[in-house]
Amino acid sequence: MLFTLIVLFFAGFAIGRFLKTDWIRKYKILIILTLMLLFSLGVEIGSNDDVVSQLKIILSSSFMISTFAVLGSFIMAVLFERMFKK
């Protein structure tokens, strides 16, 4: 499964890199495909009882990780600005 995903990723990368892709912007197909991907991900997660039972822990962990990542980035940006601003 993972190998298939990696192959599809690189195939999409090659198509986007070497072929003319103006039609993607014209038809907004990326937005539609992204919404379909998010919908299928929601269906997959919603049908998995193990994930649903652990949802509170997963959400709180995700919130903590993202909060500390943003806070750490902000603190480091302020420190670097003070160090190099002369």
| Assigned token pair, 53 | 């039972």
> For residue 28, how far is the Cα from the chain centroid?
19
> For residue 33, how far is the Cα from the chain centroid?
14
Report the pLDDT value the prediction gives residue 86, as an integer from 0 to 100: 64
pLDDT for residue 24 is more than 90: no
Report the pLDDT value the prediction gives residue 65, as an integer from 0 to 100: 96
* Percent of the chain topping pLDDT 90: 28
Grouping H, G, I as helix, E, B as strand and the rest as coil, residue 47 is coil
Reported pTM: 0.48
Report the pLDDT value the prediction gives residue 15, as an integer from 0 to 100: 78
Task: Give mean pLDDT, residues 1-21.
Answer: 77
Report the pLDDT value the prediction gives residue 35, as an integer from 0 to 100: 82
